[in-house]
Amino acid sequence: MQRSFLEGILIMREFIIADNQDITKAGMMFLLSKQKEVSLLLEADNKAELIQQLRLHPTAVVILDYTLFDFSGAEELIVLHERFKEADWLLFSDELSIPFLRQILFSSMAFGVVMKDNSKEEILTALQCSSRKERFICNHVSNLLLSGNRASPTHPAIKDDLLTPAERSILKEIALGKTTKEIATEKNLSFHTINSHRKNIFRKLNVNNSHEATKYAMKAGIIDLVEYYI
């Protein structure tokens, strides 16, 4: 059987790397520069820059580390996709919660996901699939979603023993908008120690970023509205 004419056409795509970690951007730039399907490489360091790039390039592939951008939740990302329906999205993070992954991946076939600690081969496959408008879900996330069928409810119960006293204290500082470096300095602890606490807090709460953690802190009474808006 002869291949159709369209099957032999190379589809060129624009890519927006939405990530504010320099080393990640450099690595992704290098990988994409080797791909024949890439027509243009762009960067976005925050949500505002991402939206501006999408206005200029509405059919681009967006490689997004959701955890580093100030999205208020999965719903906001879904709305952004609805606004730019022709774009394709490859979520590229260190860790994403099961409820978030389920909500995003079930919302549209335009979303794929690969993790930053996946192999180079799996990341390259994800990029190639995205350029062809094919969804890619890495093995790690597939396994997470399968195991999540028996997981607890989407949002953990608000109970006092979910976090340790030290984690509650650090969560309060995070909710007040302080950076990991600032918290480490104030508490006379290393950056690595505070960053480890931060990751543990996010994992326990099943959240992905500071905005989602702040919502929990308010619901749990760890911080109140008066403190938040001072």
Please provide the size of the chain in residues.
230
- What is the number of other CB atoms lying within 10 angstroms of the CB of residue 64? 25
Spatial contact of 82 and 56, defined as CB atoms under 8 Å apart: no
pLDDT, position 219: 77
Q: Residue 159's pLDDT is what? A: 53
Q: Looking at the predicted structure, is the pLDDT value of residue 5 above 90?
A: no
d(CA 121, CA 66): 22
Q: What is the average per-residue pLDDT within 79-107?
A: 92
Please indicate, yes or no, whether the overall pTM of this predicted structure exceeds 0.85.
Answer: no
Predicted confidence band of residue 216 (pLDDT cuts 50, 70, 90): confident
Query: 19-33, pLDDT tens digit by residue?
Result: 999 999 999 999 998
Kindly indicate the confidence band of residue 213, based on its pLDDT and cuts at 50, 70 and 90: confident
Tokens encoding 12? 């060129």
Instruction: For the chain, list the strands marked E by DSSP.
Output: 13-18, 38-44, 61-64, 88-93, 111-115
Q: Residue 188: which region, alpha, beta or left (left: phi > 0; alpha: psi -120 to 50)?
A: left
Residue 37's CB: how many other CB atoms inside 10 A? Answer: 16
Contact yes or no for 87/60 (Cβ under 8 A): yes
What are the backbone dihedrals phi and psi of residue 155, each rounded to the nearest 5 degrees, phi first?
-115, 130
| Phi then psi dihedrals of residue 187, to 5 deg | -95, 0
Q: Which 3 state secondary structure label does DSSP give 106?
A: helix
pLDDT value at 149 more than 70: no
- Which range, 81-95, 167-181, 204-218, has the best average confidence (pLDDT)? 81-95
Q: Cβ(59)–Cβ(87) under 8 Å?
A: yes
SS3 116: coil
Contact 76, 53 (CB under 8 A): no
Is the pLDDT higher at 15 or at 148?
15
**Half-sphere exposure in the Cβ direction for 98 (13 Å, CA):** 18
